[in-house]
Amino acid sequence: MKIVFATNNQHKLSEVRATLGEGYEVVTLREVGITEDIPETGATLDENASIKARYVYERTGLNCFADDTGLEVEALGGAPGVHSARYATEGHDFAANNRKLLSELSGVENRRARFRTVISLIRDGVEQQVEGIVDGVIATVESGCEGFGYDPLFIPEGCEVTFAEMTADQKNAISHRGRAVAELVKLLKAE
Protein backbone atom coordinates (compact mmCIF):
# COMPACT_ATOMS: atom_id res chain seq x y z
CA MET A 1 0.00 0.00 0.00
CA LYS A 2 1.30 3.45 -0.95
CA ILE A 3 0.85 6.13 1.70
CA VAL A 4 2.27 9.62 2.31
CA PHE A 5 3.83 10.36 5.70
CA ALA A 6 3.43 14.11 6.35
CA THR A 7 6.73 14.84 8.07
CA ASN A 8 9.97 16.70 7.41
CA ASN A 9 11.71 14.82 10.20
CA GLN A 10 14.01 12.16 8.71
CA HIS A 11 14.41 10.38 12.06
CA LYS A 12 10.65 9.91 12.31
CA LEU A 13 10.52 8.73 8.72
CA SER A 14 13.09 5.99 9.25
CA GLU A 15 11.47 4.89 12.53
CA VAL A 16 8.05 4.64 10.91
CA ARG A 17 9.37 2.87 7.80
CA ALA A 18 11.09 0.29 10.03
CA THR A 19 7.97 -0.27 12.12
CA LEU A 20 5.54 -0.48 9.20
CA GLY A 21 7.70 -2.99 7.35
CA GLU A 22 7.62 -4.08 3.75
CA GLY A 23 3.89 -4.11 3.01
CA TYR A 24 3.81 -0.31 2.90
CA GLU A 25 5.46 2.13 0.51
CA VAL A 26 5.90 5.21 2.68
CA VAL A 27 6.23 8.28 0.46
CA THR A 28 7.76 11.54 1.69
CA LEU A 29 6.38 15.08 1.41
CA ARG A 30 9.14 15.98 -1.04
CA GLU A 31 8.20 13.01 -3.23
CA VAL A 32 4.68 14.41 -3.60
CA GLY A 33 5.99 17.92 -4.29
CA ILE A 34 5.36 19.51 -0.87
CA THR A 35 8.56 21.33 0.06
CA GLU A 36 7.23 24.02 2.39
CA ASP A 37 6.91 23.62 6.17
CA ILE A 38 3.32 22.81 7.10
CA PRO A 39 2.18 25.39 9.70
CA GLU A 40 1.47 23.70 13.05
CA THR A 41 -1.02 26.17 14.48
CA GLY A 42 -3.06 23.81 16.68
CA ALA A 43 -3.26 24.05 20.46
CA THR A 44 -3.00 20.29 20.95
CA LEU A 45 -1.13 17.31 19.47
CA ASP A 46 -4.44 16.00 18.11
CA GLU A 47 -5.10 19.27 16.27
CA ASN A 48 -1.60 19.47 14.81
CA ALA A 49 -1.63 15.87 13.60
CA SER A 50 -4.94 16.57 11.92
CA ILE A 51 -3.76 19.88 10.38
CA LYS A 52 -0.69 18.18 8.84
CA ALA A 53 -2.63 15.20 7.46
CA ARG A 54 -5.39 17.39 6.01
CA TYR A 55 -2.86 19.72 4.41
CA VAL A 56 -1.43 16.80 2.45
CA TYR A 57 -4.77 15.25 1.59
CA GLU A 58 -6.18 18.56 0.30
CA ARG A 59 -3.18 19.06 -2.00
CA THR A 60 -2.64 15.52 -3.24
CA GLY A 61 -5.83 13.52 -2.70
CA LEU A 62 -3.54 10.66 -1.60
CA ASN A 63 -3.96 8.48 1.45
CA CYS A 64 -1.72 9.94 4.13
CA PHE A 65 -0.94 10.19 7.81
CA ALA A 66 0.83 12.67 10.09
CA ASP A 67 2.26 12.34 13.57
CA ASP A 68 2.54 15.01 16.22
CA THR A 69 4.55 14.18 19.30
CA GLY A 70 5.16 15.92 22.58
CA LEU A 71 7.16 15.29 25.72
CA GLU A 72 4.91 15.90 28.76
CA VAL A 73 6.81 16.48 32.00
CA GLU A 74 4.73 16.12 35.17
CA ALA A 75 6.62 18.67 37.30
CA LEU A 76 6.31 21.22 34.47
CA GLY A 77 2.53 20.88 34.23
CA GLY A 78 2.78 18.89 30.97
CA ALA A 79 5.31 21.21 29.25
CA PRO A 80 6.90 21.30 26.73
CA GLY A 81 3.99 19.23 25.28
CA VAL A 82 2.72 20.63 22.02
CA HIS A 83 5.64 23.12 22.06
CA SER A 84 8.33 20.39 22.21
CA ALA A 85 9.97 21.31 18.89
CA ARG A 86 10.35 24.99 19.77
CA TYR A 87 10.87 24.74 23.52
CA ALA A 88 14.15 26.67 23.74
CA THR A 89 14.28 28.49 20.39
CA GLU A 90 12.21 28.92 17.23
CA GLY A 91 14.44 26.49 15.34
CA HIS A 92 14.31 22.74 16.00
CA ASP A 93 17.44 22.91 18.16
CA PHE A 94 17.56 19.56 19.97
CA ALA A 95 20.66 20.42 22.05
CA ALA A 96 19.20 23.74 23.25
CA ASN A 97 15.88 22.04 24.10
CA ASN A 98 17.68 19.43 26.20
CA ARG A 99 19.73 22.08 28.00
CA LYS A 100 16.56 24.04 28.80
CA LEU A 101 14.78 20.93 30.07
CA LEU A 102 17.68 20.06 32.38
CA SER A 103 17.79 23.59 33.70
CA GLU A 104 14.01 23.74 34.31
CA LEU A 105 14.26 20.47 36.24
CA SER A 106 17.38 21.39 38.16
CA GLY A 107 16.84 20.36 41.80
CA VAL A 108 13.42 18.91 40.99
CA GLU A 109 12.86 15.46 42.48
CA ASN A 110 9.80 14.43 40.46
CA ARG A 111 11.30 13.49 37.07
CA ARG A 112 8.22 11.68 35.75
CA ALA A 113 7.40 12.33 32.09
CA ARG A 114 5.80 10.71 29.10
CA PHE A 115 6.05 10.89 25.34
CA ARG A 116 2.74 11.01 23.52
CA THR A 117 2.30 10.57 19.78
CA VAL A 118 -0.95 11.22 17.97
CA ILE A 119 -1.30 9.97 14.41
CA SER A 120 -4.00 11.23 12.06
CA LEU A 121 -4.74 8.91 9.16
CA ILE A 122 -6.75 10.04 6.15
CA ARG A 123 -7.82 7.15 3.98
CA ASP A 124 -10.22 7.67 1.09
CA GLY A 125 -11.08 11.05 2.61
CA VAL A 126 -11.98 9.64 6.03
CA GLU A 127 -9.91 10.76 9.01
CA GLN A 128 -9.13 8.61 12.06
CA GLN A 129 -6.74 9.18 14.97
CA VAL A 130 -4.67 6.82 17.11
CA GLU A 131 -2.32 7.47 20.01
CA GLY A 132 0.81 5.94 21.55
CA ILE A 133 2.23 6.70 24.99
CA VAL A 134 5.38 5.70 26.85
CA ASP A 135 5.95 6.65 30.49
CA GLY A 136 9.39 7.28 31.89
CA VAL A 137 11.66 9.70 33.71
CA ILE A 138 13.95 12.55 32.73
CA ALA A 139 17.59 11.76 33.52
CA THR A 140 19.88 14.28 35.22
CA VAL A 141 22.49 14.09 32.43
CA GLU A 142 22.32 13.32 28.71
CA SER A 143 23.41 9.81 27.64
CA GLY A 144 23.69 8.16 24.24
CA CYS A 145 23.75 9.43 20.69
CA GLU A 146 21.13 7.33 18.86
CA GLY A 147 17.67 8.65 18.05
CA PHE A 148 16.89 12.37 18.17
CA GLY A 149 15.26 15.17 20.14
CA TYR A 150 14.87 14.47 23.84
CA ASP A 151 16.02 10.82 23.51
CA PRO A 152 19.33 11.37 25.41
CA LEU A 153 17.31 12.47 28.48
CA PHE A 154 14.38 10.04 28.42
CA ILE A 155 14.59 6.76 30.35
CA PRO A 156 11.50 4.65 29.63
CA GLU A 157 9.80 2.93 32.55
CA GLY A 158 11.39 -0.43 33.41
CA CYS A 159 14.64 0.48 31.61
CA GLU A 160 18.00 1.65 32.88
CA VAL A 161 19.15 3.45 29.75
CA THR A 162 17.85 6.35 27.69
CA PHE A 163 16.21 5.98 24.26
CA ALA A 164 19.45 7.42 22.83
CA GLU A 165 21.37 4.43 24.21
CA MET A 166 19.08 1.93 22.46
CA THR A 167 19.16 0.57 18.93
CA ALA A 168 16.40 1.79 16.62
CA ASP A 169 14.68 -1.60 16.96
CA GLN A 170 14.77 -1.47 20.76
CA LYS A 171 13.31 2.05 20.78
CA ASN A 172 10.62 1.22 18.21
CA ALA A 173 9.49 -1.83 20.20
CA ILE A 174 8.46 0.25 23.22
CA SER A 175 8.25 3.86 22.11
CA HIS A 176 5.27 6.22 21.84
CA ARG A 177 5.67 6.30 18.03
CA GLY A 178 6.16 2.53 17.78
CA ARG A 179 2.94 2.02 19.75
CA ALA A 180 1.01 4.60 17.72
CA VAL A 181 2.23 3.01 14.48
CA ALA A 182 1.10 -0.42 15.75
CA GLU A 183 -2.38 1.10 16.19
CA LEU A 184 -2.11 2.68 12.74
CA VAL A 185 -1.41 -0.75 11.23
CA LYS A 186 -4.56 -2.10 12.89
CA LEU A 187 -6.56 0.70 11.23
CA LEU A 188 -4.92 0.08 7.87
CA LYS A 189 -5.63 -3.65 8.05
CA ALA A 190 -9.26 -3.17 9.10
CA GLU A 191 -11.54 -2.53 6.17
Q: Is 177 in the site for ligand ITT (CB under 6 A)?
A: yes
| Dist. CA 151–CA 139, nearest whole Å | 10
Query: Helices 10-20 and 176-189 sit at what angle, rounded to 10 degrees?
Result: 50
Q: 37, 46, 67, 68: which is the annotated catalytic residue?
A: 68
Closest to ligand ITT by CB, 67 vs 188, is 67
Closest to ligand ITT by CB, 36 vs 160, is 36
Q: Is 147 in the site for ligand ITT (CB under 6 A)?
A: yes
> Which residues neighbour 153 within 8 Å (Cβ) at sequence distance 6 or greater?
98, 101, 102, 138, 139, 142, 162
Q: What is the CA radius of gyration of the chain?
A: 16
Closest to ligand ITT by CB, 157 vs 191, is 157
Q: Is 148 in the site for ligand ITT (CB under 6 A)?
A: yes
124: exposed, middle or buried (Cβ count in 10 Å: 0-12, 13-18, 19+):
exposed
The only residue of 8, 14, 28, 128 in contact with ligand ITT, by rule CB under 6 A:
8
Minimum Å gap between C-beta 71 and ligand ITT is 6
> Does the annotation count 68 as an active-site position?
yes
Whether 106 and 118 have beta carbons less than 8 Å apart is answered as no
Q: Hey, which residues does 68 pair with through a beta bridge?
A: 118
Number of residues that bind ligand ITT (CB under 6 A): 20
Q: Which of residues 83-102 bind ligand ITT (CB under 6 A)?
A: 84-85, 92, 94, 97
Catalytic residues: 68
Q: Which residues in this chain contact ligand ITT in the complex, by CB under 6 A?
A: 7-9, 12, 67-69, 84-85, 92, 94, 97, 147-151, 163, 175, 177
